[in-house]
Chain A
Amino acid sequence: MAVEAPARPEAPAPRRSGLRHRLAERGVDRVLLLLVPAVLVIGLLFLYPMLYGVGLSLQPKNGGGPFGNYADFFKDSYQRGTVWKTLRLALPAALINVGASVPIAYRLRGRFRGRRVLTALLVLPVTLGTVLVADGLLRYLGPKGWFNRVLLDLHIVDEPVRLIYNYWGVLLSLLITGFPFAFLLVLSYMSGIDPTLERAAATLGAGPWQRMRRVVLPLLAPGLATTFVLAFVLAFSVFPSANLVGEPAGETRVMAIAAYQAAFEKYDYSMASTIAVLMGVFELLVISVTLLLRGRLYTGPASGGKGS
């Protein structure tokens, strides 16, 4: 008891409560116990498998040192190509979804009749899910589907446009499933911008385009960056539609398909983990770059002053 620590004159109070006090002052008290189950679940079901996967990826089935799988992945052009194929789908899909959301959300930000209905309609595809949209695209865009039928009957084209079983089918499915999500986010960011700011800009002589470019967009930009990240995450994990409406052996053989094939067709869990890890790395790379750029933007409140 009296062994350690030089005697401190002002510490006659019981030591245990002193420690508890100091911890409480730093925000550590029994309330944090509420966090324990969640952290345990995530640790057990997410962190442990992830680490296990990383470990597995470093023990290649075919030998070749701990990084053998990674080397194999980048040596094999069929495998390496999946990175490019995934980015080629995910980046445009995310950009288009965010880009298209801005003008629509801008038009929808005020209050008018039917706003709620229109919002609901635009958000509806969120519930459709990738599989259903893929199935619908097969019917609708197929050579005998309504879309081609309209084009043929209007004599815009002479033979059916091929929009399924290739890159375009997958991109379209990503646009349909991803747009509502991006739109919802952009709309809520847009509603967060104090409308009096635009009126203030108008009194200073800014036209509609200037107001949009010099007031709305700068305030919206950080939100757009966040939305882009989330839209990209959604598009990057493209899997069912790449199989169903894409060309899973060729043009749309994305990383997810490669990982799945390694795991459940070749039973090479080590390689599958390698691809999964690489997927995470490439995705986090894009996210980090976006967030880094976002950090350079103004991210304060989007209202003009006190109150609101």
Chain B
Amino acid sequence: MTVGSVVEKDSRAAFGHLRLDGVTRRFGKATALSGFDLRIEGGEFIALLGPSGCGKSTALNCLAGLLPLSEGAIWLDEERIDTLPPEKRGFGMVFQNYALFPHLSVRKNVAFGLSVRRVGKAETARRVDEALRTVELTEHADKLPGQLSGGQQQRVAIARAIVLRPKLVLMDEPLSNLDAKLRVQMRTEIRRIHQDLGLTTVYVTHDQEEALALADRVVVLRSGKVEQIGTPEEVYTYPVSTYIAGFMGYRNLLELPVLSSGDGKVGLGEKDGLNLTGVSRQPITGARAVAAVRPEDFHIAGSPDSAAGENIVTVRVEVSEFHGREVAAEGVTDDGRVVHFRSPERIAPGERVALTVAPERVLVFGESVQDAAAALDEAAAESIGETTGAKDGG
């Protein structure tokens, strides 16, 4: 749909906007979330993205009212709500482990919120049926949660949250307990329900693929602070730091001395070694910088002897994995740097190949390599199993 930073407001949304104003939460001495500012428009789908411990779940729980704020305020259409208990806020929430009431049938789980509000019988039945139809669980209505599969339990949790027509739906890593195939399927489902019902959704995840696929805007958090807010396209194409770059699939983070800098273009390289030209959105002032390159942006330029031109990297192949359409490979440069890249055809370990990458696909950040390595580790730890990363997004 629309590409750009302006998000259209859904006219069916229950409110104009929600504003988080310097929301801070401390646990004893540790600060889990500090000075979180965000404005959410009615009808928007917001993803809070980051590794575990980055404060995204704390933010969600503060929003829900399950955790009191240490500082800051939350405003709903300029009415302060952070002092209200969770049951008075009128938000819906889907928990990571679903948190279904194990002693109640699917129907009673979904009807719970209506019955504590003393909604009439006929009205309850109508709305529960509608919600169950939305998540396609009508035929399982009388089962207990324990008799359902993980995906079905997930649907019950969603139905329970949406049956109250909440102003805001909060989702805390709802797909992380599902297997890979079901995860993609449910992801589409969640987006469909969001659109069909005109909901406003805040979605917490550590999976960048999920965040990019679902959200209108992505908020990347790191150690309790906002690192970047933007549309999926912005975050994917122009990460503001190596940390986010690592998250967004820039698996190669190469620290090199700065040779030249200016006009958005940066030249990096070592004498008789790796030389790369890349782009940077900020001026590079330090002597060294980090070049971030996605594996899929490297192309095989041919054999090491014949290849010529800009951004040539020669590697010896160490490992190659077959991934269907292509081969994911890991190579080592002459000076011992590990480079991840893709190849359209099978390449044998031990083979030497020359890789090339377009300069506009090399993002340069003026950060230390420790920072870059830490970012890469954090990102890698969270996305184990998703080696293919987010492809062909930008």
A residues bordering B, Cβ < 8 Å?
A: 10, 13, 21, 24-26
Q: A251 CA to B27 CA in the complex, in Å?
A: 60
B97 CB to closest chain A CB, in angstroms?
15
Q: Flag if A21 contacts B68 (CB, 8 Å).
A: yes
List the B side residues contacting A13 at CB < 8 Å: 71
- A25:B27 contact, CB within 8 angstroms: yes
For this complex, into which size category does the number of interface residues on chain B fall? under 10
Any chain A CB within 8 A of the CB of B70?
Answer: yes
CA distance A59 to B71 in the complex (A): 57
Interface string of B61-89 (1 = CB under 8 A from A): 00000001011000000000000000000
Closest B-chain residue to A26, C-beta based? B28
Write the nearest CB–CB distance from A234 to chain B, whole angstroms: 36
Complex Cα–Cα for A10 and B34 (A)? 13
List the A residue with the shortest CB-CB distance to B29. A25
Contact A25 B71 (CB under 8 A): no
Q: Are the CB atoms of A24 and B68 closer together than 8 Å?
A: yes
What is the minimal beta-carbon distance from B33 to any residue of chain A, in angstroms?
Answer: 13
Q: How far is the CB of A26 from chain B (nearest CB, A)?
A: 7
B26, CB-defined interface residue at 8 Å? yes
Q: Enumerate B14-34 residues with CB–CB distance to A below 8 Å.
A: 26-28
**Cα of A135 to Cα of B333 in the assembled complex, Å:** 88
The 3 closest A-B pairs by CB, nearest first: A25-B28, A25-B27, A21-B70
User: How far is it, in angstroms, between the C-alpha of A13 and the C-alpha of B68 when the chains are bound?
Assistant: 14
Chain B residues at the A interface, C-beta cutoff of 8 Å? 26-28, 68, 70-71
CB distance from B342 to the nearest CB of A (A): 32
| A–B Cβ pairs within 8 angstroms, 7 of them | A10-B71, A21-B68, A25-B26, A25-B27, A25-B28, A25-B70, A26-B28
For the complex, what is the distance from the CA of A207 to the CA of B26, rounded to whole Å? 54
**Contact residues in A for B70 (Cβ distance below 8 Å):** 21, 25
> Bound complex: CA of A21 vs CA of B68, how far in Å?
8
Residues of A contacting B71 with CB < 8 Å? 10, 13
The docked-state distance in angstroms from the alpha carbon of A13 to that of B69 is 12
Which residue from chain A places its CB closest to the CB of B26 in the assembled complex?
A25
- Chain A: CB-nearest residue to B69: A21
A24 neighbours in B (Cβ, 8 Å): 68
**Distance (whole angstroms) from the CB of B167 to the closest CB of chain A:** 25
Expressed in whole angstroms, the Cα–Cα distance for A26 and B27 within the complex equals 8
The minimal Cβ–Cβ distance linking B373 to chain A, given in whole angstroms, is 28
CA A234 – CA B70 in complex, angstroms? Answer: 49
**Which residues from A are CB-within-8-Å of B26?**
25
CB distance from A242 to the nearest CB of B (A): 48
Bound together, the chains give a CA A24 to CA B67 distance in angstroms of 10
User: B28 to chain A: which residues have CB within 8 Å?
Assistant: 25-26
Shortest distance between the CB of A87 and any CB in chain B (Å): 46
**How close is A200's CB to chain B, nearest CB, in angstroms?**
25
**In the assembled complex, which residues on chain B have CB atoms less than 8 Å from the CB atom of A26?**
28
Complexed CA–CA distance, A10 and B71 (Å): 10
A21 to B70 alpha-carbon distance, docked (Å):
7
- When distances are taken between beta carbons in the complex, the residues of chain B under 8 Å from A10 are 71
Q: Could you tell me the distance between the alpha carbons of A129 and B26 in the complex, rounded to whole angstroms? A: 53
Nearest CB of B to A16, in Å: 13
Closest Cβ neighbor of A24 among chain B residues: B68
Question: How far apart sit A275 and B27, CA to CA, in the bound complex (Å)?
Answer: 48
Contacts of B27 in A (CB 8 A): 25
B216: min CB distance to chain A, Å: 33
Identity of the chain A residue whose Cβ is nearest the Cβ of B72 in the assembled complex: A13
A174 → B minimal CB distance (Å): 42
Complex CA gap A26/B26 in Å reads 11
Query: Smallest Cβ distance from B32 to chain A, in angstroms?
Result: 10
Measured between alpha carbons, how far is A133 from B71 in the docked complex, in Å? Answer: 65
Chain B minimum-CB-distance residue to A11: B71
Measured between alpha carbons, how far is A21 from B69 in the docked complex, in Å?
8
Find the A residue at minimum CB distance from B83. A17
Complex CA gap A13/B80 in Å reads: 15
Query: Chain A nearest CB: distance from B125 CB in Å?
Result: 35
